[in-house]
Chains A and B, each alone.
Chain A
Amino acid sequence: MDQNDSLPPPDPTAAPPVVPVPTPDASAAPPKPAAPRPAAAAGGAKPAGAAAAGGAAKPAAKPEPKAPAIPPGPPDPPPPADLARPGWLEAFEAAFPGVAQLSYFVGDWTVIVPLDRLIETATWLRDDAAARFDYCADATAVDWPTRAQRFDLVYCLYSVPHRHRVRVKARVGEAEAVPSVTGLWPAANWFEREMFDMFGVRFSGHPDLRRILMPEEWQGHPQRKDYPLEGPGELMIEDPQEWLKLRNAAREAEFD
């Protein structure tokens, strides 16, 4: 009986949900001018993109100029002039004069090499007695979508006998084939597979280039900056700039 008593109330409460539904519709009158704006901004975006645009509708109205631009690339600060260079680095510069650009930041040395010299310099770094970078600690990519050569390939190398580190960087365009370093460091096998999976970097000479974390039939490369965070995976927003603007606007809204 009590249950029967408790049952009727849901029926009246079933009505209230109907009431709030019209209220957004009624209140939608003021945001209505705002609504077409993100829709126009999203352009050809499909439903999921539209949903993101809906979330960003409110802040997009006011902080339009606040959205930061996509960074053009890493700063790669040059080493301070008074900083002593490690011996292996001096030897490296002597072996490859003018090939590499050096960078130093918070204690880390980075050697930026052109893609066509990557294998040559990497072999030297691995085999030279003073360098001996025999351990490939990590290999990954960074996406800078506005740059012509959009990916930075980053190899974090370590030397077990000498206990020092270096990062080797190479810039690569979307369609360029990258020579695989698996011949030098077999450890890079899965790292390169992950780069291929997540960024779509094409490696030549890799023994087993397949997707590793995503399913074989997956479309797109999730770690690219123009790949949306939410929504159906196959859906790509065509314009990365637009997507970043939406993302930044949504984040500003969270802070307001």
Chain B
Amino acid sequence: MDNQRVTSSMFDTDELVINMGPQHPSTHGVLRVVLRLDGERVVDADVVIGYLHRGIEKLCENRDWTQIILLTDRMDYVAAATNNLGYCETVEKLMQLEVPRRAKYIRTALAELQRLASHLVWLGTHAMDIGAVTVFLYCLRERELILDLFEEYCGARLTYNSMRIGGLPGDLPPGWDRKAREICDLVDEKVVEYEQLLTQNRIWLERTRGVGVISAADAVAMGFCGPPLRASGVYRDVRVDEPYAAYEELQFDIPIGAAGDTYDRYLVRLEEIRQSTRIVRQALDGLPDGPVMGKVPRLIKPPAGETYHAIESPKGELGFFIVSDGKSLSPWRFRVRPPSFTNLQLLPKLVRGHLVADVVALIGTIDIVLGEVDR
């Protein structure tokens, strides 16, 4: 009898609840996931966020319109220039300011370089999560060069403060465009190298193909955005649908996936790296002459009103909803629509039914930055 009891408890089929994070190296910061497991299979997951909540929205409602640019850097710190761009364009829309064409082109080049940097970090960390450590070192090596480029432009490596309402803080330093072109050539060359390491790699295929499949209808309904949405086969890119900066005048392709799995999300992002270098080159080739700062009132004080403006950040649709009361010197309401936030929302759906080890791969595939999720 005793024996039987021991065996039945040894083969206990109860669900096991385990905690992952917030201090787990594969959670890309401070994400906590509570997993309900049946053996090695994930039955359900609960995503707990907020560990990096700094109240940026509230802070922005108590700062000047120009001081906010600094705060936006601290959201998606892997791609800070895109945040600057999104915020500045929203205020420009609110004030109906005209931005010089040269500034638009430089902004586009900076945003695309930022996309390169962000995608390289993503590829490196994602591959490392799955077990390919070499790729991480390679990717960060190339990203370092892009950060050098940003350092030369605005003096900072991560939090740039690289845009102003109505234009840019300064023109490009001499020789910068040559260096940018060199880096684009180098990245194009290195993408082939990454592909040799991963795309046909048997382990990579086993770990990514058919893992975390999201259909196009689900992706739209659940608010997926950016590369994951496109990997599910939805043609949606803010750069094309609602063009901003200089994207209207540039030629580029939007890669679309079919299966909506981790492997397609990987392919889509790799292709985006190639398209980004193409955009940077075009923006530098077509760089018009002229000033980089438009006519902007000395005191930024948008009229009373509200607007929503979205741009395509490396993670997806980065939107700003800003309400101005027209009287005070700070926005009445400052709202960020962070792409990582909506993408992370799908994590429970993605991991259901997969193995514990796949959870790590699936957190990596949606490319989250917790600074942006929690704000």
A-side residues, CB < 8 A to B, are: 68, 71, 74-75, 77, 105-108, 110, 134-138, 140, 142-143, 154, 156, 160, 163, 165, 167, 185-190, 198, 211-215, 222-223, 227, 229, 247-248, 251, 255
Contact = CB atoms under 8 A, between A and B. Distances in A.
Given A190-B341, A213-B50, A247-B62, A160 B236 contact: yes
B374 interface: yes
Contacts of A212: 49-50
Of all A-B residue pairs in the complex, the 8 with the closest CB atoms, nearest first, are A187-B223, A138-B337, A71-B325, A213-B50, A142-B333, A68-B327, A213-B53, A105-B305
B31 interface: no
Contact of A248 (B223, B242, B328): B328
A156 B236 contact: no
B337 A156 contact: yes
24 contacts: A68-B327, A74-B304, A74-B306, A75-B326, A77-B305, A105-B305, A105-B306, A106-B307, A110-B306, A135-B223, A137-B308, A137-B317, A137-B319, A138-B319, A138-B335, A140-B335, A142-B306, A142-B333, A160-B236, A167-B308, A213-B53, A214-B53, A227-B58, A251-B328
Interface residues of B, number: 44
A83 to B, nearest CB: 16
A214 B57 CA distance: 14
B59 interface: yes
Contacts of B337: 137-138, 140, 156
A76 to B, nearest CB: 9
A212 B308 CA distance: 23
Q: Name the residue among A138, A187, A214 with the largest chain B CB count within 10 angstroms.
A: A138
A251 B62 CA distance: 9
B317 to A, nearest CB: 6
Contact of B332 (A71, A108, A160, A222): A71
B211 interface: no
A167 B323 CA distance: 13
B94, B308, B329: which has the most chain A beta carbons within 10 Å?
B308
B317 A214 contact: no
A143 B328 CA distance: 15
A190 to B, nearest CB: 5
B50 A214 contact: yes
Contact of B321 (A77, A106, A134, A154): A154
B105 to A, nearest CB: 23
B1 interface: no
Contacts of B241: 163
Nearest to A108: B307
Contacts of B220: 134-135, 160
Interface string B295-325: 0000000001111101000000101010101
Contacts of B221: 134, 185-187
Interface in B89-118: 93-94, 96
A150 B346 CA distance: 32
Contact of A74 (B50, B234, B323): B323
A216 to B, nearest CB: 10
B223 A185 contact: yes
Given A187-B221, A223-B57, A142 B345 contact: no
B328 A68 contact: yes
A125 to B, nearest CB: 14
Contacts of B317: 137
A200 B168 CA distance: 39
